[in-house]
Amino acid sequence: MTTTNIPSFLSDAHNLDHTTLSSKFHTIEIEEVERCRRANDAKNEFSVSVALRDDSMKFNRYSDILPFNYNRVKLIKRRPNKTDYINASYIEGPDKITQYIATQGPTEKTIDDFWLMVWEQNSYVIVMLTKEQEKGYTKCVKYWPEEVKQSMLFGDTCLRIELESEELVPNATCVVRTIKIEKLENSQVIELRKITQLHFVGWPDHGVPDSPDTILNLVNKTNEIQRQYIVDIVNSQVPPGKVGPIIVHCSAGCGRTGTFCTVDTALAMLPNFKDDNTDLISSLVGHFRTQRRTMVQTLTQFQYCYLAVLSKLVTNR
């Protein structure tokens, strides 16, 4: 195999060795520690003071994975005993080449908030990267109906959620669910949308999938569905008339979520990437860490980003 058309950050063996990648990941970690030093200072650029408020903390799955004030998603609809807070962050690749909402797996207290966010942000694709239970711990509650044709009604948000279908996609190791969302007014449906959830079940917490192929297939499937929604919604000329960001979550909304966003964004950038010895993966992880804490949480996940992108390039040659 030659190294033609494979950028130097992926073709240089020295850049891919364990010591080099460990050093790069350590630098990213140190930069994050510095950002966190004044995280509770509302005037700080990377403050998480809103997430730390008493009326917000009860809606956080974990006390240390919190959205920055500056790019947190704000819920629009006002409801009793709720604020505009949800543990979710707007995430953008360089020059907005990709856009996501990274969020925690819903808890019992935040299922209604999650669906309200899906509706208000006009999102049509949800990528779920965790099982509901892992090693005896709840990582995410089931926020969709148990059975096909069953529904869930959220009175405060006037939204009804119905599971229309689900099927296993073997090569992507994921379950694809079609979910209908109905907006109600005086018990009558005033708007209806159908969205897609891709539930990837082959990714352990803090770990990586067994093969790069599965995440690459998931990325392809996700973008294929998102592109089709964009075409359909624009052509239909019915509300809302636009398609919002892909919503990506695992349990905390950082490790597996960040890895997915990094691989997807790297692949989107590579066709126009100028090989000037810039390490695109390391740069992207650093970029995403300024938008949400611990995006790509472990060294193993960091290394996996390189493996997945390199595998895609080699396979496509």
- Give the range of the structural domain holding residue 158, as residue numbers without chain letter: 9-316
Active-site pick, 250, 254, 261, 305? 250
| Residue 4 within a domain | no
The pLDDT tens digits for 232-288 are 988 887 677 789 999 999 999 999 999 999 999 999 999 999 888 899 999 999 999
Q: What angle in degrees, to the nearest 10, is found between the helix axes of 280-289 and 18-36?
A: 20
Supply φ then ψ for residue 291, to 5 degrees. Answer: -115, -25
Single pTM value for the model: 0.95
Smallest Cα–Cα separation from 212: which of 177, 249, 171? 171
| Residue 307 within a domain | yes
Cα–Cα dist 68/290, whole Å = 9
What is the model's pLDDT at position 272? 92
Name the DSSP letter for residue 61: S
What is the model's pLDDT at position 37? 87
What is the model's pLDDT at position 206? 75
What is the model's pLDDT at position 260? 98
- How many CB atoms are closer than 10 A to CB 204? 13
| Residue 187 within a domain | yes
261 as an active site residue: the answer is no
End-to-end CA distance of the chain: 10
In the chain, the number of structural domains is 1
Smallest Cα–Cα separation from 111: which of 84, 69, 140, 131? 140
Low pLDDT (below 70) residues in the chain: 1-4, 172, 238, 317
In this structure, what CATH number is given to the domain that contains residue 167? 3.90.190.10
- How many CB atoms are closer than 10 A to CB 33? 8
What is the model's pLDDT at position 170? 78
| Residue 2 within a domain | no
What is the model's pLDDT at position 203? 85
Beta strands (DSSP E) in 54-144 are 72-74, 85-92, 99-103, 125-128, 133-134, 137-138
| Residue 3 within a domain | no
Cα–Cα dist 207/304, whole Å = 9
What is the model's pLDDT at position 317? 53
- How many CB atoms are closer than 10 A to CB 26? 11
The pLDDT tens digits for 83-104 are 999 999 999 999 999 999 999 9
